Structure 1
């Protein structure tokens, strides 16, 4: 064999090994168990967030303007800038979460989304506005939190069109699109399979069970997580790898009444291992670990937290519990 042929052979072998290495790295990234934490300004300083226990942080929220097709300026964008700097220093990703329950007086007013989505130009303008935000703050993706498109109205199909257009724009820049969805029930049917297919993953809000359903008053027991997973994966065809099960770091007291945060509960004397204290239902370490192990066993994409600023920083930390259970 001539020297040139030997050189070419070695070059091809090196390239083949390199390609296999890239494929393994890509596969590992795709199979990563995600720990997605929602973060609201004021709950904690951005630099205090423990990046070693998180993979993604969702800054909450960017609010649509009354017209619905543009996004209102952030009240204090310095917090988002600090968050991005902190997260990127640890190779963690930051998404902007758009929407949320708090729109309108008393919350739960999604009319801005409906006004935007019913017109093609409204959807185009919304996507351009979202992409401008992503570029301005060097974000890694968008989490769409429209609560909720309706099954029995045109908004379900309009949601599909919006999601596809936004996903195409984000994916062209190697960015990601996710969404927050209801735990289960009729409201979930407004999010069609075509929309789920366009998303990178879906955050299942498996808490606030006291609002109704088969499991009431207990807010977010283990059984509610099972019910939510069954609804979306078995019933709605969501790929397990796209299902991110939600975990609460706050408590509820009866029908729709918010209780203390987990951090407050522990400071007041509640046990880190129980799920009930003085009328407040919450998730302690045992339940958080059990849900995380369930996500692992079922091959889910990971877990999601509302919200990470409500955790403790000592041995009672729920983020530390998640980290132990996911290994």
Structure 2
């Protein structure tokens, strides 16, 4: 029951999110509660369902013109039809009849509305959808609502379904079916009726647990940059551009164009760049292509960018060249991969570059009559890799369609020789470096870049360690530095890891960190498989990111297993429980506040 966390009786002087999923300002949140059950109490994710409140709490504003989260309050308030703990149906009436303004806050994952001095914190469809996707990302069994009588035309109950289509409807008893594979046991439906006592909420004599398996679609697209399922293609990866199954992507990045330090112009390393767009659009005419400039060339390449960005004239030469090369080779956009800005001077000059680049893109589009080129960039995902303070966050927000946050290579054998590590964990209970820390804490909350400007990175490769003891092979097991696998070396791509597994390596998925690993003998490999990719995609949805991207598509196997994971892992369980939970041993309360 991760709700009733902040209510007027305990927080009289400021507006609060009653059931936040995240809480950058403190410890109480849905995520904190779920994580505590998993990591401190030791309950498995598949034994947990996250709670969704179908009601809210009202506060009274001190100043009707100051109505954001944490605005000053004079204790509890009330809505005309719903008193101080209005049901969702009452809140919708308040919005409709009183003209209350509604707001969704993706940082905390909460909704609120206000009219005059009345302010209500609650969960609407955006919050419910985000929490459902969070549940998927953490591998939870599902979710539940307190209580369905508070819904309005079943809007919240079908919030998950508003973003997808129903695949399957089964009737079953999870208590009887819950000991084995849930999906397998769904195919032997069983209905168990139970008598309700003293229920005034529903005129039903029985209730049944209804299991809905839903097909969820990813980010819908109304613009070329909206909804990113991206993948980088490296021209020297061994995968020909014609072999890319572009049907799994909305955007493909052709990597890498180089920066000529003598002329500050863009150069292409291969003739395949000029035909890239035409080639990948044969399988998917809608896919957008971007020319990626730079790459992981170390200090030498970083120095090229730093020098180019120092002067107005060199920036203009670079910008004009990039636009000319992109148009001449039929790319839809440009992608800057400067690894990495490393000083306040770089930060300032990168800000100038982005301002001028966007202005030039707009001007070129006006003159040519063509759609503006997209402008994206690849950025560090962790202070462990490169200090994020050297990125001009406001210039990024103002000028870039989105940025690709490289939340991988966080733990690698070069830096962690003595123990096996998750190379790209989404969560990290033992430390600060993780995908969620890089995305949510650093880029969203500290740098203030909006979620819809961010795409999360997915590595299609892993890292190998050598185990000290072949019989001790878990996460953080003793290691003797880097290892290697027969076909992939010390940094094997996913296709090589699958070959290693097919030859007998044992595989494990860890849902606490959201990582996969496999081992055989003294060779241990940390990587992302379908479970990790699916969880990260669900996480991206839950906090409102623009999408995700992969480095790099040539690392996938012949079946495009990772590239199509979002399609294959979009089934999930939704629980709708009809009845009085008091009779099932869960306590009792009034309609508004949830079980005590």
- Asked if the contact 1:273/1:286 (under 8 Å) is kept, the reply is no
Matching residue of 1:196: 396
Counterpart of 2:260 in structure 1 is: 65
Structure 2: gaps (5+ residues): 1-219, 366-371, 428-433, 466-480, 484-489, 510-515, 572-596
The structural deviation recorded for 1:273 is: 6.7
**Matched residues in 1 for 2:226 and 2:313: separation?**
37
Question: Which residue number corresponds to residue 566 of structure 2?
Answer: 322
Match of 2:273 in 1: 80
Q: Please state how far the C-alpha of 1:253 moved relative to its aligned partner.
A: 3.0
Give me the CA root mean square deviation.
Answer: 2.6
Render the CA deviation track for 1:68-101: whole Å, top value 9, x for unaligned: 72223x2322x22332102334221110111111
Q: Which residue does the alignment assign to 1:14?
A: none
Cα 1:195–1:55 change in 2 (3 A) is same
| Contact 2:289–2:333 (CA under 8 A) maintained in structure 1 | yes
User: Retained in 1: the 8 A contact 2:424–2:435?
Assistant: yes
Residue 326 of structure 2 is aligned to residue 128 of structure 1: no
Distance 2:410 2:482 in 1: 9
135 and 326 in structure 1: CA distance in 2 versus 1, 3 angstrom threshold: farther
CA distance in 2, matches of 1:33, 1:132: 26
Q: How far apart, in 1, do the equivalents of 2:482 and 2:388 lie?
A: 19
Q: Which one has the largest radius of gyration?
A: 2
The CA deviation at 1:312 is: 1.3
Farther-moved stretch of structure 1 (201-210 vs 83-92): 83-92
Change (3 A) 1:244 1:325: farther
- For 2:570 and 2:226, how far apart are their aligned partners in 1? 11
> Given the alignment, which residue of 130, 155, 162 partners 2:353?
162
TM-score by length of 2: 0.46
Contact 2:315–2:353 at 8 Å: present in 1 too?
A: yes
Which one has a larger percent strand, Structure 1 or Structure 2?
2
**1:30 to 1:302, Cα distance in 2 relative to 1, 3 A:** same
- Is the CA contact 2:231–2:251 (under 8 Å) kept in the aligned structure 1? yes
Q: Distance in 2 between matches of 1:260 and 1:272?
A: 15
- What are the superposed Cα offsets for residues 274-301 of structure 1, whole Å, 9 maximum, x if unpaired? 4112322100110100000111111110
Q: How much does 1:233 deviate?
A: 1.1
In structure 2, C-alpha distance between the alignment counterparts of 1:184 and 1:75, rounded to whole Å: 30
- Deviation of 1:271 after TM superposition, in Å, equals 6.4
Shift of 1:31: 8.1
The separation in 2 between residues aligned to 1:122 and 1:273, in whole angstroms, is: 50
The answer on 1:259 being equivalent to 2:491 is: yes
- Gap change, CA 1:176 and 1:318, over 3 Å in 2: same
In structure 1, what is the equivalent of residue 62 of structure 2?
none
SS in structure 1 at match of 2:360 = helix
Partners of 1:68 and 1:279 lie apart in 2 by 46
The alpha-carbon deviation at position 29 of structure 1 amounts to 2.9
Count of aligned pairs between the two proteins: 294
Task: Tell me whether 85-94 or 173-182 shows the greater mean CA deviation.
Answer: 85-94
**Residues 271 and 170 from structure 1, CA distance in 2 versus in 1: closer, same or farther, beyond 3 angstroms?**
farther
User: TM-score normalised to the size of structure 1?
Assistant: 0.82
Give the one of 41, 53, 61 matched to 2:248: 53
Rounded to whole Å, the distance in 2 between the matches of 1:67 and 1:194 is: 30
> Matched residues in 1 for 2:403 and 2:232: separation?
13
CA gap of 1:46–1:112, structure 2 versus 1, over 3 A, is same
State the shift of 1:187 in Å.
1.8
Contact 1:210/1:256, CA 8 A, preserved across alignment? no
Say which structure, 1 or 2, has more relative contact order (CA 8 Å, 6+ apart).
1
